[in-house]
Chain A
Amino acid sequence: MDVRVYVDSGDPVGDGLARQFNVQYVPEFMFVNADGSVSGEPIVGGTDEATLKARLDALK
């Protein structure tokens, strides 16, 4: 699995993705399948370990 962290603005790739997916608040977590499709809704704000693990396990 790739892990990508985009901090604040200034990174063209991160900025582009944030706008593409209408990210308005941070932290926000997105889950993307290997084929590039977005898995479920993003998690906005904090989350617990169990939820995060379940969402990561669900990725194809």
Chain B
Amino acid sequence: MNKKLILWFAAAAVAVVVVAALAVSGQSQTVRKDIAGAELLQLHGSGASIVDVRTPPEFEAGHIASAINVPVDQLQMVAPAWDKNQPIVVYCATGARSAEAATYLAGAGFKKVYDLTGGLVTWTGELVSGKATAAAPSGAGAVKTAGKPVFIEFATST
């Protein structure tokens, strides 16, 4: 094989590698990361939504301030309405349910998903008690409108 042919193959190989690297870097990356409590506070300070995936009674007994309560078994019904670019921190009691929730969210296309390692057991910060309020975090709480105010009634047929 002559020298020119070798150089041509080398150049072609480099080009393939460069094109592949550019293609990968162009894709939107999903971040799914386990975090500690201090990082949760930083993320919340920078606008991340905090989602408590425990049951409502657990939530009412004590939760991280500003968290909303979406039990892990209801996440698939609620999360599709959320902004997938909004960073989301999930937590539960020990980390098992939040790991499941984080896996689901990352798989559903949420770009930045954070899971509180070890759950509330490891949390040393303040907890607040009481029901969730209607003031859900940005991206998670907004109701889709057609540019007009909306009046919503939840009712029963009986």
What is the interface of chain A, defined by CB distance below 8 A to chain B?
1-8, 12, 14-23, 26-39, 41-42, 56, 59-60
Q: Which of B80, B131, B143, B145 has the most CB of A within 10 A?
A: B143
Contact B153 A16 (CB under 8 A): no
**A33 surroundings in chain B (CB, below 8 A):** 145, 149
**B132 surroundings in chain A (CB, below 8 A):** 22
Contact A2 B154 (CB under 8 A): no
Contact A38 B134 (CB under 8 A): yes
Q: Is the interface of A mostly helix, strand, loop or mixed?
A: mixed
Instruction: List the count of A-B residue pairs having beta carbons below 8 Å apart.
Output: 121
Known: A31-B149, A32-B149. 8 other contacts (CB 8 A): A6-B152, A19-B74, A20-B78, A23-B154, A26-B154, A30-B151, A33-B149, A60-B149
Q: Which of B133, B142, B153, B154 has the most CB of A within 10 A?
A: B154
Q: Is the interface of B mostly helix, strand, loop or mixed?
A: loop
Contact A26 B156 (CB under 8 A): yes
Question: Shortest beta-carbon distance, B131 to chain A, in Å?
Answer: 6
**B153 surroundings in chain A (CB, below 8 A):** 3-6, 27-30
Contact A22 B156 (CB under 8 A): no
**B133 surroundings in chain A (CB, below 8 A):** 22, 41
Chain B residues 90 to 144 lying within 8 A of chain A, measured CB to CB, are: 131-136, 140-144
Tell me the bound Cα distance from A30 to B154 in angstroms.
8
Contact B149 A34 (CB under 8 A): yes
Partner of B151, one of A1, A14, A15, A22: A1
Q: Is B147 an interface residue (CB 8 A)?
A: yes
Contact A38 B157 (CB under 8 A): no
**A15 surroundings in chain B (CB, below 8 A):** 77
Partner of A56, one of B70, B80, B151: B151
Nearest chain A residue, comparing its CB with the CB of B71: A19
**B142 surroundings in chain A (CB, below 8 A):** 35-37
**A29 surroundings in chain B (CB, below 8 A):** 151-154
Tell me the bound Cα distance from A16 to B70 in angstroms.
10
Contact A19 B134 (CB under 8 A): no
